[in-house]
């Protein structure tokens, strides 16, 4: 089963971390550790997630090669084997490159694609709208917009999102904005949810610490780096289910229970801490937690979390 419309964009979708083998002394061309990835996928499916998203930001999309990118998507689809839906990362700040990537993905399977906005070149709103309309018209794929201004310096405004939601192929939004930054992001998100509710369009949170907030605003799910940790994935799944039942206090308690997992996952720039959690190197220029400022402290914090709250990860450190 694969997602074909916005109503299916609900629940918890881990943005799958890409584990590597430490087989290149220069750490430039490490190979993908697919055996480790199998264990990760099995654990997440057993935790009850709604789907899996390979090769997003958390999956080291910025540093894998084009071939590796497609190989990871194919492997994930083959290994998941229909147990849960798969959403493929396929974005670029180059419209032509993104079109070609989506077309290559479609040769593997017809799956929805998550596409980021114009990082580095920082296009105008008109440029962003043309970008996504081109992806839609030239590929026919189901597209989820990834709005993450903290990484791209490119914020998709509500007017642009509302306009794009009218395109039948653009079915959703991953809204990765921190409500703590200011009221604007909160108000913009409320407006987008309200003014797209009659379209085939869903809004998912890209901020793990604000999952309950997004659900309360009318959002439908979470695309999560933290949910790579099976214990955290289970908490988020339980939170989503509790929200559907109207169990407000349980939702608050579960969001609180997720806090230590979220803080550990983002104690350094994502996906650096996940590299430590899964005992994996990262492609340069990303470096391990221990190589960052006060790295020993961060590594100790992560290992403490694993011992006390995420024992499923101990197998990666045996």
Q: Which residues are catalytic?
A: 146, 174
What distance in Å separates the CA atoms of residue 225 and residue 271, rounded to the nearest whole number?
A: 8
Q: Which two tokens stand for residue 124?
A: 């105008």
**DSSP secondary structure letter of residue 51:** -
Q: Which two tokens stand for residue 261?
A: 């997992």
Q: Is 223 labelled as part of a ligand binding site?
A: yes
Three-state secondary-structure class, residue 2:
coil
Q: Is 289 labelled as part of a ligand binding site?
A: no
* Half-sphere exposure in the Cβ direction for 67 (13 Å, CA): 3
Q: 204 near 13, Cβ under 8 Å?
A: yes
Neighbouring residues of 69: CB distance < 8 A, sequence distance ≥ 6: 55, 61, 89, 101
Q: Which two tokens stand for residue 131?
A: 């970008």
| CA nearest to 176, candidates 299, 91, 71 | 91
| Binding site residue list | 58, 223
| Binding site residue list for pyruvate | 58, 223
């Amino acid at each position: 089963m694969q997602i074909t419309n916005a109503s299916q964009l609900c629940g918890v979708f881990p943005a799958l971390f890409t584990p590597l083998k430490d087989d290149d002394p220069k750490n430039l061309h490490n190979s993908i550790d697919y055996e480790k990835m199998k264990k990760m996928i099995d654990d997440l499916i057993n935790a009850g997630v709604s789907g899996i998203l390979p090769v997003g930001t958390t999956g080291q999309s910025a540093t894998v090669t084009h071939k590796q990118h497609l190989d990871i998507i194919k492997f994930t689809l083959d290994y998941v084997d229909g147990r849960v839906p798969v959403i493929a990362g396929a974005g670029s700040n180059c419209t032509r490159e993104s079109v070609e990537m989506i077309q290559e993905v479609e040769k593997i399977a017809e799956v929805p694609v998550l596409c980021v906005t114009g990082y580095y070149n920082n296009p105008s709103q008109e440029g962003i709208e043309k970008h996504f309309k081109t992806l839609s018209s030239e590929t026919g794929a189901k597209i989820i917009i990834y709005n993450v201004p903290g990484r791209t310096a490119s914020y998709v405004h509500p007017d642009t999102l509302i306009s794009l939601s009218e395109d039948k192929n653009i079915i959703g939004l991953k809204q990765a904005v921190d409500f703590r930054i200011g009221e604007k992001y909160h108000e913009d998100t409320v407006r987008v949810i309200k003014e797209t509710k009659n379209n085939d369009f869903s809004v998912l949170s890209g901020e793990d610490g604000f999952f309950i907030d997004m659900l309360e605003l009318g959002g439908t799910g979470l695309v999560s780096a933290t949910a790579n940790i099976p214990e955290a994935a289970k908490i988020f799944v339980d939170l989503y289910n509790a929200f559907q039942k109207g169990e407000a206090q349980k939702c608050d308690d579960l969001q609180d229970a997720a806090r230590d997992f979220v803080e550990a996952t983002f104690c350094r720039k994502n996906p650096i801490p996940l590299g430590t959690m899964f005992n994996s190197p990262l492609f340069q220029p990303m470096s391990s937690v221990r190589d960052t400022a006060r790295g020993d402290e961060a590594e100790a914090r992560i290992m403490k979390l694993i011992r006390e709250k995420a024992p499923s990860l101990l197998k990666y450190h045996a």
